[in-house]
Amino acid sequence: MFGSSKLVDPRVALPGRPDPVLGPCRHEVFGIDVHDVPAGSEVAYFALGCFWGEEKLFWSTPGVTNTAVGYMGGDTPNPTYREVCTGRTNHTETVRVCFDPARVSYEALVRQFFEQHDPTQGMRQGNDVGTQYRSALFCTSDAQAATAEALRAVARQRYAAAGFGAVTTTIEPAASRPFYWAEDYHQQYLIKNPGGYCPIHATGVACG
Protein backbone atom coordinates (compact mmCIF):
# COMPACT_ATOMS: atom_id res chain seq x y z
CA MET A 1 0.00 0.00 0.00
CA PHE A 2 1.20 3.50 -0.80
CA GLY A 3 0.50 6.56 1.32
CA SER A 4 2.08 9.84 2.26
CA SER A 5 5.76 9.73 3.22
CA LYS A 6 5.65 13.00 5.16
CA LEU A 7 3.81 13.96 8.33
CA VAL A 8 1.34 16.81 7.92
CA ASP A 9 1.13 19.99 9.96
CA PRO A 10 -1.09 19.06 12.96
CA ARG A 11 -3.20 22.14 12.24
CA VAL A 12 -4.43 20.56 8.99
CA ALA A 13 -4.85 17.00 10.29
CA LEU A 14 -8.28 15.46 9.82
CA PRO A 15 -10.72 16.35 12.64
CA GLY A 16 -11.74 12.81 13.56
CA ARG A 17 -14.62 12.26 15.98
CA PRO A 18 -15.34 12.20 19.73
CA ASP A 19 -16.34 8.53 19.98
CA PRO A 20 -14.27 5.38 19.41
CA VAL A 21 -14.87 3.45 16.18
CA LEU A 22 -14.72 0.14 18.10
CA GLY A 23 -17.29 -1.10 20.59
CA PRO A 24 -17.15 -4.32 22.64
CA CYS A 25 -15.07 -6.85 20.73
CA ARG A 26 -14.21 -10.45 21.69
CA HIS A 27 -10.62 -11.49 21.02
CA GLU A 28 -10.54 -14.38 18.54
CA VAL A 29 -7.60 -16.05 20.31
CA PHE A 30 -7.84 -15.14 24.00
CA GLY A 31 -11.64 -15.14 24.26
CA ILE A 32 -11.82 -11.91 26.26
CA ASP A 33 -12.69 -8.38 25.19
CA VAL A 34 -9.79 -6.75 23.37
CA HIS A 35 -10.12 -3.75 25.71
CA ASP A 36 -9.43 -5.87 28.82
CA VAL A 37 -6.15 -5.88 30.72
CA PRO A 38 -5.93 -9.27 32.47
CA ALA A 39 -4.98 -9.27 36.15
CA GLY A 40 -1.24 -9.00 36.68
CA SER A 41 -0.61 -7.81 33.12
CA GLU A 42 1.20 -4.71 31.91
CA VAL A 43 0.51 -2.82 28.67
CA ALA A 44 2.94 -1.86 25.92
CA TYR A 45 2.55 -0.38 22.44
CA PHE A 46 4.51 -1.35 19.32
CA ALA A 47 4.38 0.13 15.81
CA LEU A 48 6.31 -1.92 13.26
CA GLY A 49 4.44 -1.88 9.97
CA CYS A 50 1.12 -3.36 8.86
CA PHE A 51 -0.63 -4.31 12.09
CA TRP A 52 -2.33 -7.45 10.78
CA GLY A 53 0.76 -9.63 10.81
CA GLU A 54 2.36 -7.86 13.74
CA GLU A 55 -0.61 -8.54 16.00
CA LYS A 56 -0.28 -12.25 15.17
CA LEU A 57 3.41 -12.07 16.07
CA PHE A 58 2.53 -10.82 19.54
CA TRP A 59 -0.53 -12.98 20.28
CA SER A 60 1.68 -15.97 19.43
CA THR A 61 4.32 -14.93 21.96
CA PRO A 62 4.20 -16.90 25.25
CA GLY A 63 3.36 -14.58 28.14
CA VAL A 64 1.23 -12.20 26.07
CA THR A 65 -2.28 -12.12 27.53
CA ASN A 66 -4.22 -9.86 25.15
CA THR A 67 -3.68 -7.86 21.97
CA ALA A 68 -5.48 -5.27 19.89
CA VAL A 69 -4.68 -3.07 16.92
CA GLY A 70 -5.18 0.63 16.51
CA TYR A 71 -3.62 3.94 15.68
CA MET A 72 -1.19 6.04 17.71
CA GLY A 73 1.26 8.91 17.50
CA GLY A 74 -0.92 11.26 15.49
CA ASP A 75 -3.30 14.18 15.81
CA THR A 76 -6.73 12.89 14.69
CA PRO A 77 -8.96 11.56 17.50
CA ASN A 78 -10.66 8.20 16.86
CA PRO A 79 -9.69 7.95 13.18
CA THR A 80 -10.97 5.39 10.71
CA TYR A 81 -8.65 3.17 8.70
CA ARG A 82 -9.55 5.09 5.55
CA GLU A 83 -8.58 8.35 7.24
CA VAL A 84 -5.25 6.95 8.44
CA CYS A 85 -4.48 5.78 4.91
CA THR A 86 -4.85 9.34 3.58
CA GLY A 87 -1.70 10.33 5.48
CA ARG A 88 -3.60 13.22 7.07
CA THR A 89 -3.85 11.90 10.64
CA ASN A 90 -0.12 11.43 11.46
CA HIS A 91 -0.94 8.11 13.13
CA THR A 92 1.06 4.91 12.77
CA GLU A 93 -0.49 1.43 12.87
CA THR A 94 0.11 0.11 16.38
CA VAL A 95 -0.34 -3.12 18.35
CA ARG A 96 -1.47 -2.83 21.97
CA VAL A 97 0.07 -5.72 23.88
CA CYS A 98 -0.89 -6.91 27.36
CA PHE A 99 1.74 -9.18 28.87
CA ASP A 100 2.45 -11.02 32.10
CA PRO A 101 5.89 -9.78 33.24
CA ALA A 102 6.35 -12.99 35.23
CA ARG A 103 6.31 -14.91 31.94
CA VAL A 104 7.80 -12.51 29.39
CA SER A 105 9.70 -9.30 30.03
CA TYR A 106 9.22 -5.98 28.31
CA GLU A 107 12.88 -6.25 27.31
CA ALA A 108 12.18 -9.50 25.46
CA LEU A 109 9.23 -7.95 23.65
CA VAL A 110 11.28 -4.92 22.58
CA ARG A 111 14.09 -7.18 21.39
CA GLN A 112 11.53 -9.10 19.34
CA PHE A 113 10.22 -5.78 17.99
CA PHE A 114 13.66 -4.76 16.69
CA GLU A 115 14.34 -8.19 15.22
CA GLN A 116 10.99 -8.75 13.49
CA HIS A 117 10.90 -5.65 11.27
CA ASP A 118 13.36 -3.33 9.57
CA PRO A 119 13.63 -0.27 11.84
CA THR A 120 15.78 1.60 9.31
CA GLN A 121 13.13 2.24 6.66
CA GLY A 122 11.59 5.47 7.90
CA MET A 123 8.09 6.05 6.55
CA ARG A 124 7.67 2.56 5.13
CA GLN A 125 7.98 -1.13 5.83
CA GLY A 126 8.79 -3.17 2.76
CA ASN A 127 6.21 -2.51 0.05
CA ASP A 128 3.96 -0.68 2.51
CA VAL A 129 4.78 3.00 2.10
CA GLY A 130 3.41 5.82 4.21
CA THR A 131 3.60 7.51 7.58
CA GLN A 132 1.23 4.89 9.04
CA TYR A 133 3.96 2.25 8.69
CA ARG A 134 6.72 4.04 10.60
CA SER A 135 8.57 2.34 13.44
CA ALA A 136 7.76 3.55 16.97
CA LEU A 137 7.62 2.50 20.62
CA PHE A 138 5.11 4.16 22.93
CA CYS A 139 6.12 3.62 26.56
CA THR A 140 3.79 3.46 29.55
CA SER A 141 6.43 4.03 32.25
CA ASP A 142 9.90 5.43 32.83
CA ALA A 143 11.16 1.86 33.18
CA GLN A 144 9.79 0.95 29.75
CA ALA A 145 11.36 4.08 28.26
CA ALA A 146 14.76 3.27 29.74
CA THR A 147 14.60 -0.29 28.37
CA ALA A 148 13.47 0.95 24.95
CA GLU A 149 16.29 3.51 24.79
CA ALA A 150 18.90 0.92 25.78
CA LEU A 151 17.74 -1.60 23.19
CA ARG A 152 17.47 1.05 20.48
CA ALA A 153 21.13 1.82 21.13
CA VAL A 154 21.95 -1.87 20.70
CA ALA A 155 19.85 -2.00 17.51
CA ARG A 156 21.69 0.99 16.08
CA GLN A 157 25.01 -0.76 16.58
CA ARG A 158 23.83 -4.12 15.23
CA TYR A 159 22.08 -2.70 12.16
CA ALA A 160 25.02 -0.45 11.31
CA ALA A 161 27.41 -3.41 11.61
CA ALA A 162 25.15 -5.38 9.24
CA GLY A 163 25.30 -2.63 6.62
CA PHE A 164 21.85 -1.10 7.14
CA GLY A 165 21.04 2.59 7.38
CA ALA A 166 20.21 4.54 10.52
CA VAL A 167 17.53 3.21 12.87
CA THR A 168 14.53 5.54 12.62
CA THR A 169 12.43 4.12 15.48
CA THR A 170 10.98 6.86 17.68
CA ILE A 171 10.34 6.43 21.41
CA GLU A 172 7.50 8.44 22.90
CA PRO A 173 5.48 8.44 26.14
CA ALA A 174 2.13 6.74 25.67
CA ALA A 175 0.53 9.22 28.06
CA SER A 176 0.91 12.02 25.51
CA ARG A 177 -0.02 9.88 22.49
CA PRO A 178 -3.42 8.22 22.99
CA PHE A 179 -4.12 4.81 21.46
CA TYR A 180 -7.21 4.79 19.25
CA TRP A 181 -8.82 1.41 18.56
CA ALA A 182 -9.06 0.19 14.97
CA GLU A 183 -12.29 -1.12 13.53
CA ASP A 184 -13.60 -4.59 14.41
CA TYR A 185 -12.58 -6.17 11.09
CA HIS A 186 -8.91 -5.32 11.75
CA GLN A 187 -8.83 -7.05 15.15
CA GLN A 188 -7.15 -10.48 14.78
CA TYR A 189 -7.44 -9.99 11.04
CA LEU A 190 -5.42 -13.10 10.20
CA ILE A 191 -7.74 -15.34 12.23
CA LYS A 192 -10.72 -13.94 10.34
CA ASN A 193 -8.80 -14.04 7.04
CA PRO A 194 -6.31 -16.96 7.22
CA GLY A 195 -4.93 -16.22 3.76
CA GLY A 196 -4.71 -12.49 4.36
CA TYR A 197 -1.80 -10.16 3.69
CA CYS A 198 1.01 -10.92 6.13
CA PRO A 199 4.41 -9.63 4.97
CA ILE A 200 7.53 -10.72 6.84
CA HIS A 201 10.04 -7.94 7.38
CA ALA A 202 12.50 -9.63 9.75
CA THR A 203 16.06 -8.80 8.67
CA GLY A 204 18.01 -11.52 10.46
CA VAL A 205 19.80 -8.93 12.60
CA ALA A 206 19.93 -10.10 16.23
CA CYS A 207 19.51 -7.46 18.93
CA GLY A 208 19.95 -9.69 21.98
One of 50, 98, 139, 207 is an active-site residue; which one? 50
DSSP letters spanning 69-103? EEEESSSSSS--HHHHHTT-S--EEEEEEEE-TTT
CA–CA dist 90, 66 (Å, integer): 26
Question: Where is 124: in which H helix or E strand?
Answer: strand 124-125
Catalytic residue list contains 25: no
- Which residues is 94 bridged to in the sheet? 70
CA–CA dist 135, 182 (Å, integer): 18
| Positions marked catalytic | 50
